[in-house]
Structure 1
Amino acid sequence: MKPQKSRSSVADLDTPAVTIDLDRVDENIARVQRRIEGCGLVNRPHVKTHKIPAIAQKQIDAGAVGITCQKLGEVEAFVEAGVTGDILVTFNIVGDLKTERLMALVPRVKRLAVVADNEVVLRGLSEAARRHGRDLPVLLECDSGFGRNGLQTPDEALDLAKLAAQLPNLRFDGLLVFPNTAPRTKGFFEAAVSKFEAAGVPLPILSGGGTPALNALEDYPMMTEHRAGTYVYNDVMMVHSGAARWDNCAMTVRTTVVSRPTADRAIVDAGSKVLTREQYYVENFGRVAEYPDAVVANLSEEHGMLDLSACRDKPKVGDVVSIIPNHCCVVSNMVDEVHGVRDGMIEVVWPVAARGKVT
């Protein structure tokens, strides 16, 4: 589906609807591009935040070296839409079904790099690349304290890098961590650089990630690229972490007050199927832009419960309010389309091309 051009008023939208402030998106893209370039790094934004090829193209046009995808389904959607430059997939690709999908994409892209954190994944990638007569660039993912997947020590990373260099049709390109804010990142990178240098193994790429880490890029002088995603929209978590201000938040969910069962409670028509219940390190379930003293206290599937007890002015039944979500990346995966808005008018309707592309 192609973006639809529109000039209707945002007030005409039925609710709930996800709106994107286009001026804020453009400002966020430009600001973060300057920030990353100013630290001598290349920018490889993560598209799982927006899942929209047109926004990825904005990021590339602003100077991004390429994009980061989390799953092959995202790559397929973006390649089909014509985003065929430098793409990194930051998730272990396991099994013949997925490696065949991967290899079908390789000739359609300028550069398609992958990650691995274990021998099984490496050997599967090597066999697929050998079978298709193609070379695959590979980065090794390291766990610097986030507690997800990843190699646990620089020694493990060096051993796996040596294996990657020996396997047919693989090219070892470097190391990757997420997020930089994990507690062992700097020490892990410093030790890895020292050990790889002593072993004579080049480290052309040291890739870090995370929007909150943008505030501390100077702490990682050995890093060569940064992968941030949420910055393009921002959300409650990013404001809480100090990575954004409220006027940097481009995504809001427009939602209608459908009930006022008590003086201090309002019910809106956006629940967990739009806003999600993700909280991570923040409280409640979003911020009401027009009523900052209101609390999005709870969500069920279709209902949002607002606590208005701290509000002097309170919305009435029929009023439309805008909620900044806790985590904008998940909201993108909940809706078929988002509405790009400028000066109160809908300028573009973008289908969320990679919605549901989780394989």
Structure 2
Amino acid sequence: MNDAEMDTPVPVIDLDIVMANLRRMQDYCDLHGLKLRPHIKTHKMPDLALEQVRLGAVGITCQKLGEAEVMVDAGLTDILMSYPVIGAAKAARLGALARRATMRVAVDNPVALRTVADAASQAGREIGILVEFDSGRLRTGVTTVDEALALARAVVATDGVRFDGLMTYPSSAATAPFIAAAKEAFAAAGIEIGMVSGGGTPDVWSKHETVGLTELRVGTYIFHDRATVGNGVATLDDCALHVHATVVSRPTPDRAVIDTGSKSLSSDLVAPSVGKGFGMIREYPDAVIERVNEEHGMVDLSACAARPEIGERVRVLPNHVCVVVNLHDTVVRTRGGEIDGDGTGVWPVAARGRSR
């Protein structure tokens, strides 16, 4: 199968670029003494997670238990759950995972702690706990050092769980001061902070400047997207995934319609300083995908010197690649400009849709 034979819309990844991105991040972490624990929510593919570990990652990060179940089935054995795990149903699933892999879970409240303790009891194995603190995103995470210390004390006093350290997202200007204050308070309480896990691709190449950070959780770096290019942490040449689309209509000279709408590209936008529309058409960078319905992408061509014809194939760089991958059951992989593998290059997105 060649490019012209691929039915569109279809996400296509370049494995040569993927491998370059993986090596670059591992080299960065090794250089600065940071442990790398990639977040698989971007790619959701066990083969890629295994490759990340083969290159030197200490383990992986999963957002949901469904993702972790897929990864453990594939042979991944060291997993951090970076999302709250609450309730009896999730305790049973976490316990089943803990019998098969080394599990850590981020918590920011006593209810989540009790769920993890219940899971550890069911598994008959210890589960590590990271206390999550808020670095300014105003999402999950305790907001004061006193709260973090109180929760850590509760972890230490709870059977079946182990206090491993702290976690935050994103790593920001507020992170290092919180870590410094926490180290002082925890030392006074006789509690060791063994690890501090931070994350976020948008400013990844300065993470080593965050004093106290020991571990890095990043996901988007494996493919990159329009947002990371706009943030200056990647170039267009670093972008490994594009959605291939076909021009299906040209109602006016200034408008084209592609067969790629919100069900393929998502409805995520980027900052106005990065660009307009719902993705960048690589062959026509001055075009703007100004609107998307579920299956239609309406493209403004008014700023383009050259314009696509009906039936022409184009490559769309997604605004937010993590969402795009989760919209598709499979991707096509290429290497050296050719379809990889058995001639079809089709690769299942095994953890797609695992939202629980």
Q: Same fold (TM over 0.5)?
A: yes
Q: What is the correspondence of 1:123-202 to structure 2 with a 5 Å cutoff?
A: 123-181=114-172, 183-202=173-192
4+ aligned runs moved over 6 Å, structure 1: none
- Indicate the larger mover: 192-201 or 159-168: 192-201
Aligned twin of 1:54: 47
Letter in 1 for 2:195: I
Residue 44 of structure 1 aligns with an amino acid whose one-letter code is R
Matched, 1:350 2:341: no
Residues 309-334 of structure 1 show CA distances to partners (whole Å, capped at 9, x for unaligned) of 11111100000000000000011111
**Residues 203-222 of structure 1: matches in 2 within 5 Å?**
203-222=193-212
- The one-letter amino acid paired with 1:296 is I
Choose which of 9, 18, 22 in structure 1 pairs with 2:11. Answer: 18
2:90 alignment partner, one of 68, 78, 98: 98
Distance 1:67 1:337 in 2: 21
Structure 1: runs of 5 or more not aligned: 1-7
2:109 is the counterpart of 1:118? yes
Q: Tell me by how many angstroms 1:188 deviates.
A: 1.4
Match of 1:108, SS state, is coil
CA positional deviation for 1:220: 1.2
2:328 to 308, 326, 335: 335
1:292 aligns with 2:285: yes
Summarize deviations over 1:223-275 as a string: whole Å, max 9, x none: 11000000000001111111111110101000000011111111000000010
Aligned pair count?
349
Tell me, yes or no, if the aligned pair for 2:14 and 2:333 is still in contact at 8 Å: yes
Q: Specify the alignment match of 2:79 in structure 1.
A: 87
User: Gaps spanning 5+ residues in structure 2: where?
Assistant: none
Identity %: 47
Q: Which residue of 2 aligns with 1:78?
A: 71
CA deviation string 1:49-98 (max 9, x = no partner): 00000111111111111100000000111112222x21111111111101
Name the CA distance, whole Å, in 2 between partners of 1:126 and 1:219.
Answer: 35
Check whether the contact 1:179–1:213 (CA below 8 A) recurs between aligned residues. Answer: no
Larger RCO: 1 or 2 (CA < 8 Å, sep 6+): 1
* 1:334–1:355 CA contact under 8 A, matched in 2: yes
Give the distance between the partners of 1:344 and 1:264, measured in 2 at CA.
Answer: 32
- Structure 1 residues 326-348: Cα deviation after superposition (integer angstroms, max 9, x where no partner): 00001111111001112332103
For 2:163 and 2:229, the matched residues in 1 are separated by 37
Describe the superposition over 1:180-230 as per-residue Cα deviations: whole angstroms up to 9, x where unpaired: 13x422221221122212222100010000112312123213111000000
| Amino acid in the other structure paired with 1:177 | T
Distance 1:132 1:29, change over 3 A: closer
1:293 to partner: Cα distance: 1.1
Return closer, same or farther for 1:51/1:190 CA change in 2, 3 Å cut-off: same
**From 199, 221, 225, the counterpart of 1:235:** 225
What amino acid is the match of 1:259?
Answer: S
Which residue type is aligned with residue 356 of structure 1?
A: G
Q: Is the 1:139–1:174 contact (alpha carbons within 8 Å) kept by the matching residues of 2? A: yes
1:126 & 1:280 partners in 2: Cα distance? Answer: 40
Q: Does 1:275 align with 2:272?
A: no
The amino acid of 1:284's aligned partner reads: G
Q: Is the 8 A contact 2:34 2:208 kept in 1?
A: no
Q: TM-score, normalised by structure 1?
A: 0.95
Equivalence for 1:3 = none
Letter in 1 for 2:83: F
Once the 2 structures are TM-superposed, how far is the Cα of residue 307 of structure 1 from its aligned partner? 1.1
The answer (yes or no) to whether the contact 1:9–1:344 under 8 Å persists in 2 is no
| Post-superposition offset of 1:127 | 2.8
Which residue matches 1:4? Answer: none
Q: Does residue 324 in structure 1 map to residue 317 in structure 2?
A: yes
Deviation of 1:133 after TM superposition, in Å, equals: 2.4
Q: 8 Å contact 1:39–1:217 — kept in the other structure?
A: no
Partner secondary structure for residue 99 of structure 2: helix
RMSD between aligned residues:
1.2
Distance 1:318 1:239 in 2: 29
Judge conservation of contact 2:225–2:318 (CA < 8 Å) in 1: yes
Match of 1:5 in 2: none
